[in-house]
Amino acid sequence: MALSNPFLAELADAFGIAGEFWDWKGRLTEVTDETVIAILAAMDVDASDPEHARAALDAHRQRPWTRLLPPCVVMEQGTPRTVQVHLPDGEWVRLAVRLEEGGFWDVPQVGDDEPPRWVDGVLTGQASFELPGNLPLGYHRLQATTQAGQFESTLVVSPSFLGFPASMGEKRAWGYSAQLYSVSSHDSWNFGDLTDLADLATWSATQQFAGFVLVNPLHAAQPVPPLEASPYLPTSRRYVNPLYVRPEAIPEYAELDDRSRSRIAQLKARLKKELAGEDLIQRNEVWAAKTEALRVIYDHGLRPARRMAFNDFLRREGRSLTQFATWSALVTRFGGDWREWPVELRRPSSPTVALFAEQHVDAILFFAWLQWVADNQLRAAQSAAKDAGMRIGIMNDLAVGVSPWSAEAWTYGNLFADKISVGAPPDHFNQTGQDWGQAPWRPDRLDELSYAPFRSMVGGILRHSGGIRVDHIMGLFRLWWVPEGLAPSQGAYVRYPHEAMVGILALEAHRAGALVVGEDLGVVEPWVRDYLRERGILGTSIAWFERDAEGRPLAPEQWREYCLASVTTHDLPPTAGYLAGEHIKLQHELGLLTESLETELASAERERTAFIDALRHRGLLTAEPATSEDIVEALHRYLVATPSRVLCAALPDAVGDRRTQNQPGTSTEYPNWRIPLSGPDGTPLSLEQLYNDERAFRLAGIMNDFSGPILVPRSETELVV
């Protein structure tokens, strides 16, 4: 049924809450009063009855008139933008732009027919000014001068079109996607780390001629066990998970005495012995051993020049890093959920938190040092990738959000909606809907903060990478909010200021010379993909999801140019497993299907047959009978036949892996994000074994569109004479 009163409906619209949505079967579904009232309450709006809803609506309409300037204005370069200023009726005002690089631009006033209105007992007028389209890119300040003084707000001028970075030129690029933690070497600590990433990039570039390596989010997790396995449920998207640090790659390791080095070697050897034969990745055990080793290196201290570099890092990161490190130290003392700490510790501005920081300076500096070390090793990985010839290098992944008990939620407080979780409505692969356990940003608070948390996060990720993949980029447009106590299917979409967020994303990427890929899979409003294309943001195309109007595999020539094209994604099994229908069998075992197992398997068989027919029709699959490996290779030839400028091969597909990394809609029911990279028989593969994997070289030959496979190189060093 529709919302019960018109004030609630108008209020929902004013706060971007959609009153209806189309489900995965094409049915128009209406949102209930209960859902809308709960979502509004999370934004501090009381709509519990018609009277309160009407009062809240009046207050919302009046709000722009209560401030002189809007808190933040984001505009595209080349397109003029009108800004409204509100002040006592009849008073004068001048508006100028204070440029980021220095200097001022006067902003001309234009006509405005809006009549004055009474606001808090003051007759208030509105004046309009037109910002010119030729303002330089950057973060500037709007400066209004009145008889009462000067007032400022933020102005962001973003590129109207981003496109491909200059490093790509006019050529196509391809690369591997990898879950870094699953790709470990003999020298790592049973967990893929940043040194492994550098080596993976070097191998991919020099032996496979790949242009990038796309990795899972490297965001920080909590510093005490049990560690969250999902890289998509971090505690901070601004900082790096130090679990990815290689202790022996820290410069101070080389300065340790024999006793300290022996201690680290013993920790590593004991860990490897304990985990020998383990079928799954054990983060808790790895972190316990690695933390001890890192503490040994930290306690050694820094030589003067390194101390200067660390101090400079602390200065540049400022309060953001200090608060994150303080949160980390508090977690080790009071537990992982700050909502259960003593009340006086639940806000970073608390005097009790300041006292704790004074008393635990060394612990806080240790966590800040870990971020400095991780930053250095991430920079080294990108340098290795570029030095090896990659045109893009490392492409980082940005998660949709963080957990409600995260460092971000503690640091930013009411930036996050209370008692709300982000998820997804029911779809074909998760027919009961999804609750991701993430706390969403409030759109109104983001605007009030001039999007500073978003700017800092994106800029930090792009500092040492050549690209960024934005997971569920529709989250910059709308997110599915699920109120506490309701099922995922009982949520509603809440809109975000997409022009501002996409504009800031494009500006940061422009400054970094980086590629931006948006994961636009699932339920997406068609105009969203059009908008992203117009702004030069790539979409994502997965072979299994690309269909024409009749439901057949979309012909290669009809694929998008502006997309990252691949056969599979991390939320599906590797292609060999997908072909065998293992995702459907798993969903059946976990009770995630609403249709019968037989019905879903029959549907999967029709899908598989349709694609094999398409491959054979185009001459991309000739083997008869065709093995799973034959089909995997043919599917990647299909990718190469598209006009897509950026292609991606999943590293598990390159080695014949079958097990899925993640089954959406589950938490403990399946060992999500704990599956090591393995061969066709399920035996884990080391990075060194990957170097000589013939399957990978055959796949690389296909991705490069070579006439034959790339030969596996000999292990000895060769001189070119």
DSSP for 438-502 reads EBPBPHHHHHHTTTHHHHHHHHHHHTT-SEEEETTGGGGTEEEEEETTS-GGG-EEEE--HHHHH
For residue 334, the model assigns a pLDDT of: 97
Q: How far apart are CA 613 and CA 619, in angstroms?
A: 10
Spell out the domains of the chain, with CATH numbers in brackets: 6-63 (no CATH), 78-158 (2.60.40.10)
278 to 192, 193, 271, 289: CA distances (angstroms): 15, 18, 11, 16
* Cα 123 from chain centroid (whole Å): 46
My answer on whether omega of the bond before 625 falls inside 30° of 0, hence cis, is: yes
Q: Residue 70, by phi and psi: left (phi above 0), alpha (psi -120 to 50) or beta?
A: beta
Does residue 618 sit in helix, strand or coil?
Answer: coil
Q: How far apart are CA 43 and CA 50, in angstroms?
A: 17
Cα-Cα-Cα-Cα torsion 598, 599, 605, 608, nearest 10 degrees, comes to -140
The pair of three-digit structure tokens given for residue 224, joined into one six-digit string? 């005490």
Widest CA span of the chain, in angstroms?
87
Q: Residue 420: what are its φ and ψ, rounded to 5°?
A: -130, 140
- The answer to whether 563 and 646 are in contact (CB under 8 A) is yes
- The answer to whether 680 and 576 are in contact (CB under 8 A) is yes
Q: Where do the H-state alpha helices sit in 104-254?
A: 194-206
Amino acid identity at 140? H
Does residue 416 sit in helix, strand or coil?
Answer: strand
Q: How far apart are CA 603 and CA 595, in angstroms?
A: 11
For residue 434, the model assigns a pLDDT of: 84
Residue numbers of the chain with a pLDDT score lower than 50: 1
- The answer to whether 195 and 187 are in contact (CB under 8 A) is yes
555 to 10, 524, 550: CA distances (angstroms): 44, 21, 12
What does pTM read for this prediction?
Answer: 0.95
* Cα 48 from chain centroid (whole Å): 35
Q: Residue 248: what are its φ and ψ, rounded to 5°?
A: -70, -15
Q: How far apart are CA 350 and CA 341, in angstroms?
A: 13
The share of the chain scoring above pLDDT 70, in percent, equals: 98
Amino acid identity at 504? I
- The answer to whether 394 and 463 are in contact (CB under 8 A) is no
The pair of three-digit structure tokens given for residue 492, joined into one six-digit string? 């509603």
Reduced DSSP (H G I as helix, E B as strand, rest coil) percent helix, strand, coil of the chain, to 5:
40, 20, 40
pLDDT tens figures, 58-103: 999 999 999 999 999 999 999 999 999 999 999 999 999 999 999 9
Which candidate, 221, 381, 334, places its Cα nearest to that of 286? 221
My answer on whether omega of the bond before 226 falls inside 30° of 0, hence cis, is: yes
293 to 184, 193, 610, 614, 626: CA distances (angstroms): 18, 15, 53, 54, 50
Half-sphere exposure of 278 (CA within 13 A, CB side): 19
For residue 595, the model assigns a pLDDT of: 84
